């Protein structure tokens, strides 16, 4: 079967995580992604941990399904090559600091002169406008400034989520924006500029906390592994680990009380409604914790699954590598890392009925596809050899 984005060409000036995650998703869907890297070093992510045999697993994961050409973009020849490639493309995405592409002579207004219908996406920490647009940003900075860290952790200690949530979430939002703009282009022939910020993305993901502040004038203290609106809804210790239990309404609480053989809790004036359970959450959590401590994770999950109460074990990465749901959903794939071996990496989470994703193409070595890309742009082998000798590629 054909992939959904077959025939779509993307020029990818992104590096590290947010942009490469976006273009990896689109590459898996069949787009031809030409990754333009810095001559001499390439994407900084090529050096990021984990590294084995000199190769970065971090880079290899988020840069599969792409081709690589390394250019000296500060040279006139490098800029000309970049524009020649852009002329053949449908989409351009970059995640440099605001102003960098303009200094390189590759900003939207310049690119539009050679490719009027280009869909051009800029992904940055704070966007291209506003008083913070100049600030350098990484995931932790954004999660702190956009409010997520203030809501995560325990009353006496804020905690940043482990994975780079701001990077990945913004990458997904950017992919959605690009596909929306591409649909518009295919319908009207009109390209456009996309400005997407990590700060905006995380602020938009704060769930009900902003309405709490604007409607009620209050925001709850950090509540650890609990929930702002429901109880019992927490991470509970067992004999051999932790299980998250989520009773988001009165019906689920009644089912849980029955599974606990504590139907009296449903009638208890402290716990008979969700509002009251939240008011008395510490006392209720102590009761639930004493019950869960009697079982192993598997035993507790079995009881709660039978009662149809949402519950899930706290899995480690090693647990997930053996998880039957991960296997059933093709979420672990074999991926080659040139010079190191073949390893299990996450698959693509998007499933299509008629246009399956293709995760078979490994991440490229630095500049691996330069000759192929330049030949498609009309460069002769003699020209390609000279550009290589001159350090332009």
User: Mean pLDDT, to the nearest integer, of 79-98?
Assistant: 97
Do 340 and 363 meet the contact criterion of CB atoms below 8 Å apart? Answer: no
* Nearest residue to 138 via CA among 209, 63, 60, 48: 48
107 touches 101 (CB < 8 A): yes
If pLDDT is split at 50, 70 and 90, which confidence band does 293 have? very high
The pLDDT-based confidence of 141 (bands split at 50, 70, 90) is: very high
For the segment 77-104, the average pLDDT, to the nearest whole number, is 97
For position 338, what pLDDT does the model report?
92
CB atoms within 10 A of CB 1: 9
The rounded distance, in Å, linking the Cα atoms of 2 and 141 is: 40
| pLDDT value of residue 221 | 84
Residue 241 dihedral angles phi and psi, to the nearest 5°: 165, -145
Determine what percent of the chain is predicted with pLDDT higher than 70: 100
pLDDT greater than 90 at residue 301: yes
- pLDDT at residue 194, rounded to an integer: 98
Query: Which tens digits make up the pLDDT trace of 118-137?
Result: 999 999 999 999 999 999 99
- pLDDT of 228 reads 83
User: Which DSSP string do the residues of 253-311 spell out, in sequence order?
Assistant: HHHHHHHTT-THHHH-TTTSSHHHHHHTHHHHHHHHHHHHTTS-HHHHHHHHHHTT--E
Torsion sign, CA atoms 16, 18, 21, 27? negative
Catalytic residue among 12, 28, 43, 167: 167
For the stretch 204-233, pLDDT in tens is 999 989 999 999 999 878 889 998 889 999
Residue 1 has pLDDT above 80, yes or no: no
Tell me whether residue 305 is one of the annotated catalytic residues.
no
Average confidence (pLDDT) over 327-332:
97
Helix (H) and strand (E) counts in the chain? 18, 15
CB of 12 within 8 A of CB of 23? yes
Q: Confidence class of residue 156 from pLDDT cuts 50, 70 and 90?
A: very high
SS3 assignment, position 360 = coil
For 15-67, write each residue's pLDDT tens digit.
Answer: 999 999 999 999 999 999 999 999 989 999 999 999 999 999 999 999 999 99
Classified as helix, coil or strand, 106 is coil
Mean pLDDT of the chain: 96
Average pLDDT over residues 164-178: 98
Give me the pLDDT at residue 200, please.
98
User: pTM for this structure?
Assistant: 0.93
């Amino acid at each position: 079967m054909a992939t959904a984005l077959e025939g779509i060409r993307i020029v990818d000036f992104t590096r590290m995580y947010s942009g490469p995650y976006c273009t990896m998703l689109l590459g898996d869907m069949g787009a031809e992604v030409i990754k333009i890297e810095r001559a001499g070093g390439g994407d900084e992510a090529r050096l990021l941990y984990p590294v084995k045999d000199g190769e970065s697993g971090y880079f290899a994961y988020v840069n599969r399904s792409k081709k690589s050409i390394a250019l000296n973009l500060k040279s006139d020849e490098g800029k000309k090559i970049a524009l020649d490639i852009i002329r053949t493309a449908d989409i351009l995405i970059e995640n440099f600091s605001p102003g960098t592409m303009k200094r390189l002579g590759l900003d939207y207004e310049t690119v539009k002169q050679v490719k009027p219908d280009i869909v051009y996406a800029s992904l940055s920490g704070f966007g291209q406008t506003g008083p913070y647009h100049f600030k350098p940003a990484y995931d932790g900075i954004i999660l702190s400034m956009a409010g997520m860290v203030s809501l995560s952790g325990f009353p006496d200690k804020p905690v940043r989520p482990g994975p780079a949530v701001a990077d990945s979430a913004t990458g997904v939002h950017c992919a959605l924006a690009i596909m929306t703009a591409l649909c518009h282009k295919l319908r009207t022939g009109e390209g456009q500029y996309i400005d997407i910020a990590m700060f905006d993305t995380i602020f938009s993901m704060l769930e009900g906390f902003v309405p709490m502040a604007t409607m009620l004038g209050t925001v709850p203290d950090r509540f650890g592994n609990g929930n702002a609106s429901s109880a019992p809804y927490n991470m509970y210790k067992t004999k051999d680990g932790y299980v998250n239990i989520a009773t988001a309404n009165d019906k689920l609480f009644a089912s849980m009380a029955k599974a606990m053989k504590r139907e009296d809790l449903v009638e208890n004036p402290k716990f008979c409604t969700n509002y009251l359970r939240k008011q008395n959450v510490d006392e209720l959590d102590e009761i639930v914790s004493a019950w869960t401590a009697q079982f192993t994770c598997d035993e507790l999950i079995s009881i709660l699954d039978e009662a149809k109460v949402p519950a899930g074990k706290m899995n480690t990465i090693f647990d997930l590598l053996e998880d039957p749901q991960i296997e059933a959903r093709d979420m672990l794939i074999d991926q080659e890392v040139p010079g190191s071996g073949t390893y299990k990496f996450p698959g693509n989470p998007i499933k299509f009925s008629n246009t399956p994703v293709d995760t078979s193409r490994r991440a490229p070595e630095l500049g691996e596809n330069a000759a192929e890309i330049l030949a498609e742009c009309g460069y002769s082998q003699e020209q390609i050899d000279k550009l290589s000798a001159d350090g332009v590629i």
